[in-house]
Amino acid sequence: MKAFFTLITIICFSMAGFSQEQDLPTDFLNKTFYKDRRDKLRDKLPTNSVAVFFANPVRNRANDVDFVYHQDPNFYYFTGYKEPDAVLLVFKDMQTAVNGTQYNEIIFVQPRDERAEMWTGRRLGAAGVKDKLGFDLSFENKEFKKYSVDFSKFASIMFFDFKNDVRDTYDSSDLYDLIAQFKAKVNYPEKNVTTLAVEPQKNNLDFKGLGKIMNALRGIKTKEEIDMIRKAVKISCAGQVEVMKAIKPGMSEREIDGIHQYVFKKYQAEDMGYPSIVGAGHNGCILHYEENYKPSISNKELILMDLGAEFHGYTADITRTIPVNGKFSPEQKLIYELVLKAQEEGMKVCKAGLPLKNIDKAGREAINKGLKELGIIQNETDKHMYYPHGCCHHIGLDVHDRGFYEDLQEGMVITIEPGIYIPENSPCDKKWWGIGVRIEDDYLVTKDGYELLSASAPRTVKDIEAMMKLPSALDDFVLPDLDKKN
């Protein structure tokens, strides 16, 4: 009897759910944006071609639990579609279907399914994709197999090579099957992939050409995208500010990570654009330290915090390095100000029309000169490992976003992120050991220079120390000691 009532309750809840519109944020980019992106792609496609994009695979976390789904950024860029098991075809020219329909793009998506939606959430379905994402022609993914497209007539069929971790599931129209069906349609030479990569002209399959087109499109942000990035950056800066106020010796790296993430979610960021890096002391010298495990950060350490909120697909990438106790030691201050100087030198040559590599060069020269003056290296030209990474990359739908790395252009959004890392046992005075500093900001490239998007997170020694003196709302947030016996 009890089981019967439980079943009835579940059915009632599910029906109530399906009869309502889902409560969703209303500030996503709209269908006109995605339609415009597909038109821009069409402009760039070569004569008599088709571009084919697949949704990202679902990735397994453990047993019957998958990672939270994240769409492939190229797929998202052209569709705004956030579900798996879909394929998009964008044609250069108008096509005519067997029933006479004219079309130049088609999307195949997973079907509506009341039972599945009760477990894993709502789906747009073929009709929803028309209504919400602005497609004229959409089908359920099971139609892809029999949908007739004569691929042999195209001069080029452009696609990115397939990801090698795509799993086959019980669903007969999952990504695995869509890829298999596509391969059959285009005579994909399964056993001869290496030859194909070297000599794509032997047939009409081209999995090299889309890279350049995507760099050109995604590397220059539209106004709508810049607004999204601004939001992600503002949210990430708010996280840095709150941590500056709240941090105290004795807190754990995880707790600091958690404060950032609380702020991100408070402002409706869906996720992190990459795993957060929160490293105190020596951990700050590990470039992509992601464990964030140190249980108690100590009084005299620096803490390096590289985090980016992802807001509606777009991510920030910001690093601040601060003294845990609120005051830089003399050595920490010297290294910090040297990194800041390198960033400022880079910023001076950040302007549309100038080569991006000049930013790296300017910062690197400043760092080498400074390290020599501090006696950490003997000559400015010495090879060393204190600054082992590049200074800049595009950000957008990916943290290391698509874009060109030659001359800067208006509308690019890039990072400038110099750093100095002096691990234990480095060949210099040990007073420097354990100092790791990175300062990373996000910049919109403009005709006359740049706009510093992440200006609201303090960057100078003076501003950081002043911010760290302010009280925090978390000062009074005390949780019970779980190990305490009553």
Cβ 440 to ligand GLY shortest distance, Å: 6
Q: Which of 105, 306, 310, 398 binds Mn ion (CB under 5 A)?
A: 306
Q: Residue 56 or 415: which CB sits closer to Mn ion?
A: 415
Q: Residue 79 or 276: which CB sits closer to ligand GLY?
A: 276
- The token pair at 189 is 């030479």
Closest residue by beta carbon to ligand GLY: 306
Q: Quick check: 105 binds Mn ion (CB under 5 A)?
A: no
Q: Residue 103 or 274: which CB sits closer to ligand GLY?
A: 274
Q: What are phi and psi of 420, to 5 degrees?
A: -135, 130
What distance in Å separates the CA atoms of residue 168 and residue 71, rounded to the nearest whole number? Answer: 18
Cα angle 222, 273, 224; round to 5 = 15
Q: Residue 174 or 306: which CB sits closer to Mn ion?
A: 306
Cβ 277 to Mn ion shortest distance, Å: 7
* Amino acid in the structure at residue 303: I
442 binding partner (options ligand GLY, Mn ion, none; Cβ < 5 to 8 Å by kind):
none
Cβ 464 to ligand GLY shortest distance, Å: 19
What distance in Å separates the CA atoms of residue 441 and residue 308, rounded to the nearest whole number? Answer: 11
Question: Among the residues of 152-311, which ranges form H helices?
Answer: 175-186, 193-198, 209-219, 223-246, 253-266
Cβ 417 to ligand GLY shortest distance, Å: 6
3-state SS class at 143: helix
Q: Quick check: 72 binds Mn ion (CB under 5 A)?
A: no
Pairing of strands 156-159, 49-54: parallel
- The token pair at 139 is 């089908």
242 binding partner (options Mn ion, ligand GLY, none; Cβ < 5 to 8 Å by kind):
none
Cβ 306 to ligand GLY shortest distance, Å: 5
What distance in Å separates the CA atoms of residue 483 and residue 477, rounded to the nearest whole number? Answer: 18
Q: Residue 108 or 450: which CB sits closer to ligand GLY?
A: 450
DSSP 416-470: E--EEEE-TT-SS-GGGTTEEEE-BEEEEE-SSSEEETTTTS--SHHHHHHHHHS
Q: Residue 110 or 236: which CB sits closer to ligand GLY?
A: 236
Residues engaged in binding ligand GLY (CB under 6 A): 274, 306, 317, 399, 417, 440
What distance in Å separates the CA atoms of residue 345 and residue 327, rounded to the nearest whole number? Answer: 25
Cβ 272 to ligand GLY shortest distance, Å: 10
Q: Residue 95 or 292: which CB sits closer to Mn ion?
A: 292
Kind and range of the H or E element at 333? helix 330-348
Kind and range of the H or E element at 394? none
Q: Quick check: 317 binds Mn ion (CB under 5 A)?
A: yes
Q: Residue 310 or 417: which CB sits closer to ligand GLY?
A: 417
274 binding partner (options ligand GLY, Mn ion, none; Cβ < 5 to 8 Å by kind):
ligand GLY
- The token pair at 190 is 């399964």
105 binding partner (options ligand GLY, Mn ion, none; Cβ < 5 to 8 Å by kind):
none
Cβ 37 to ligand GLY shortest distance, Å: 25
Sequence-separated (6 or more) residues with CB below 8 Å from residue 456: 234, 237, 238, 241
What distance in Å separates the CA atoms of residue 415 and residue 400, rounded to the nearest whole number? Answer: 10
Cβ 419 to ligand GLY shortest distance, Å: 9
Cβ pair 274, 399 in contact under 8 A: yes
422 binding partner (options ligand GLY, Mn ion, none; Cβ < 5 to 8 Å by kind):
none
Cβ 282 to Mn ion shortest distance, Å: 19
Residues lying near Mn ion in the complex (CB under 5 A) are found at 306, 317, 415, 417, 440
